[in-house]
């Protein structure tokens, strides 16, 4: 009896009686080179906001979930396939302001991706889909000087704050370097995210308890060879305190 009533309810249900809401995804992809935090941006090729700088993203298809849509849209718009790189992806937040998209009511599920690099080079990008261009751009410069489409400034700001806060008490920063890394590479991630210049000696004292010395060294362009580490403990105790606002490099 209950199954029959449930079936009848679903047959009589009219979704069109409710306001239409579209679902999209947006991605903040962070990577660090030369002690500078970069993110992937596109130039929008279509309206609305044609020509504006934006985060990669797009509409979720009926047959996919938000995470799969995020990976697909990123590759379509920028040529960047996260599956080919050491990358960490997590859901950032849901953005649902009724005014965030001038076309219709659009809710976006934003994702944060951390892409490991060798601290010197960034993966190449190639625009596609509805993107007229794709670029790596310095995050702090974009937030200071650039206009972004939709509410992408808010999304980028929250992604940066999420990362900046997490690296105080976890080794999340190590997701932006190779699995085996030198301490200076890790320190450069902190410098990049916090837009600061940390003291090398103090940083070493804070970090070594959470790291494992591999017993190997790598050559550097300047100075003595550097010891190679891996992450031993995900959490930092005591935490590494972020420099006060305004204490930039």
Domains of the chain, by residue range, sit at 22-166, 168-231
Rounded Cα gap, residues 143 and 136, in angstroms: 14
| pLDDT value of position 235 | 94
Strands 181-182 vs 226-231: parallel, antiparallel or unpaired: antiparallel
- CA neighbor of 23 nearest in space, from 84, 79, 67, 87: 67
| pLDDT value of position 6 | 87
Fold designation for 168-231: Arc Repressor Mutant, subunit A (1.10.10)
| pLDDT value of position 220 | 80
How many CB atoms are closer than 10 A to CB 206? 16
- CA neighbor of 46 nearest in space, from 123, 130, 111, 125: 130
Fold designation for 22-166: Nucleoside Triphosphate Pyrophosphohydrolase (3.90.79)
pLDDT in tens, 123-148: 999 999 889 999 999 999 999 999 99
In the predicted model, residues of the chain with pLDDT beneath 50 are: 1
């Amino acid at each position: 009896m209950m199954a029959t009533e449930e079936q009848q309810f679903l047959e009589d249900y009219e979704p069109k009686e409710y306001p239409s809401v579209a679902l999209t995804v947006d991605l903040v992809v962070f990577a660090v080179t030369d002690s500078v935090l970069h993110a992937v941006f596109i130039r929008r090729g279509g309206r609305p906001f044609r020509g504006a700088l934006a985060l990669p993203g797009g509409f979720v298809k009926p047959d996919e979930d938000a995470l799969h849509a995020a990976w697909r849209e990123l590759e379509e718009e920028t040529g960047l396939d996260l599956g080919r790189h050491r990358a960490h992806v997590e859901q950032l937040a849901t953005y649902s302001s009724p005014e965030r998209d001038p076309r219709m009511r659009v809710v976006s599920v934003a994702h944060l991706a951390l892409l490991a690099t060798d601290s010197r080079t960034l993966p190449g990008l190639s625009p596609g889909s509805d993107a007229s261009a794709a670029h790596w751009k310095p995050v702090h410069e974009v937030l200071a000087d650039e206009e972004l489409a939709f509410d992408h400034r808010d999304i980028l700001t929250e992604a940066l704050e999420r990362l900046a806060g997490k690296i105080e008490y976890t080794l999340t920063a190590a997701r932006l370097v190779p699995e085996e890394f030198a301490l200076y590479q890790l320190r450069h991630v902190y410098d990049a995210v916090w837009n600061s210049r940390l003291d090398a000696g103090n940083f070493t004292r804070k970090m070594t308890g959470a790291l494992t010395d591999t017993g190997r060294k790598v050559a550097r362009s300047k100075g003595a060879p550097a010891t190679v580490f891996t992450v031993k403990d995900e959490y930092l105790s005591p935490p590494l305190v972020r420099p006060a606002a305004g204490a930039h490099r």
